[in-house]
Amino acid sequence: MKVQAIDWALVAAPTVLAVGAIVVLLVDAFTGPPRTRRAALVPAALTVTAVVVAAVPAAALWGEVRTTFCLGRSDALCSFGVNGLTLTFWGVVLFGTAVVALIGTVEVADGRTPQGEWYFLLLCSATGALTIAAARDLVTLVVALEVVSLPAFAMAGLRRGDRRAAEAAVKFFLVSVVSTAVTLMGISLVYGAVGDVFLVSLNVGPLDQSLEVVARVGLLLTVVGLAFKVAAVPFHMWVPDTYVGAPVAVAAYLSVVSKSAGFVGLLLVLQGGLPWLADVWAPLLGVLAALTMTVGNVMALRQGHAIRLLAWSSVAQAGYILVPFAAGADDPVPSVTATMGYLAIYAFVNLSAFAVAAVVGTRYPAQRLEDYRGLVRDEPGAGWPLAFALLALAGLPPGVVGLVAKVLVFDAAAGPATWLAVVMAVNVAIGLVYYARWLRELFRPAPEGASRYDVPNGVGVAIGLTFTAGLVFSVLPGLLLDPVLSSLTVP
């Protein structure tokens, strides 16, 4: 019997994260509870180290298209593959995981979160996120999605004695279970109609009438299941309560890495496997995009809680990211490039806002917008990065990188979905209102007698990384977008 060869270079990045998760857990178990704040940073340092090590083999694959875990009857029928889309998403995941690990150091202050277990779960979830982008069959895709979700809701409820965190974890868990059940039902119908689970085999074109009806129903259920993951309206109601109840670092992770994993899953299934059913999923996602951005922005207008505002803003941003899907039925290349370009930019901008929110939360746990009053003067190292992040999320200069992201989406929608571009333009204008309201608080006079913030070193590094990336890519956006967009291919 012939033993299948494994391309270990392809699986090195997720393997390193998986091994790193085990190392973090074992080190924490054998060293015991940290007795000093510096000792408590060891799991965070090990996590960041694992991410950096995983980035090395990922970077070495840049520009290559390779596969592994293939069936003997065809080299095209493979379960794991790497291309430009995969590596771009890996960059988002690795950067996001490292920043979230640094934001998580703020949890050291209260001592209620088991650090070893928290970072173990973070690396496990990130391992699943890397696997999603490399999945080339539906089974691998669904399993990888669950590897992302299951550790994430455990992270949300891991803080001891916090009822809100426990409630957030339960809500997230219930949504995850429902979305997984719906997705599994959908892919089982697609498999029954097509007779295969490999993405290249799904793209078979029109089927017999009865089988095509089954495939269309399966597609709809699959889209609904993944819509839960990306928090598209009307499958979004878990987001505000989960983000507010979970630790800020977990909310940051869910808003960037976990959500991006859902979008990549949509790209793989729709553009990679079922482009011949675009007459079904393109109009559906167009409606979802319009609803999602509108509901997210309108609800954000009413928020006086910083994390809840970021939660609704995250819903609105999901609507923007869905726009290229609706416009990509005829030509998928602009859809893929606009989606991945937006995700790459959105990652460090949104993480910057959450990192600053973690700092402010150490003094003002209530996280009211008024609590950010005078932050630019009181703590400029946090205030200016937050101001820049809000401008970038709104798409205003000097946050040019955020404007570039929105231009990418507008460009993809112009022509194929002009009506959706108009809806997006209106929603961008609505978003300016609540971003400006928060921005105004940063420059108002600080309360008298306010002391300086105690910024943990890890969170300070996270703010510095994201702020520097935003500034550099605003001045030279080509440094980010040229290599990303030039390497992308249709899944």
Average pLDDT over residues 75-88: 84
**Hey, how many other C-beta atoms are within 10 angstroms of the C-beta on 150?**
17
Q: Answer yes or no: is pLDDT of 344 > 70.
A: yes
Contact 248, 462 (CB under 8 A): no
The per-residue pLDDT for range 37-55, each reduced to its tens digit, is 565 678 888 999 999 999 9
Instruction: Name the burial class of residue 398, with classes exposed (0-12), middle (13-18) and buried (19+) by CB atoms within 10 angstroms of its CB.
Output: middle
Give the pLDDT confidence score for residue 1 in this predicted structure: 45
**Closest Cα to residue 57, out of 14, 117, 110?**
14
The per-residue pLDDT for range 402-421, each reduced to its tens digit, is 888 888 888 888 777 788 88
The per-residue pLDDT for range 431-478, each reduced to its tens digit, is 999 999 999 999 888 766 555 677 777 888 999 999 998 888 888 877
Average pLDDT over residues 219-245: 89
Q: Answer yes or no: is pLDDT of 294 > 90.
A: yes
Average pLDDT over residues 385-408: 87
pTM across the whole model: 0.92
Give the pLDDT confidence score for residue 403 in this predicted structure: 84
| Average pLDDT for the chain | 86
**Closest Cα to residue 69, out of 129, 140, 142, 146?**
140
279 against 486, higher pLDDT:
279
Q: Answer yes or no: is pLDDT of 380 > 90.
A: no
The per-residue pLDDT for range 264-275, each reduced to its tens digit, is 999 899 888 888
pLDDT band at 2 (very low <50, low <70, confident <90, very high): low
Average pLDDT over residues 236-248: 88
Q: Which two tokens stand for residue 400?
A: 């040019």
Domain ranges in the chain are 8-487
pLDDT band at 70 (very low <50, low <70, confident <90, very high): confident
pLDDT band at 329 (very low <50, low <70, confident <90, very high): low
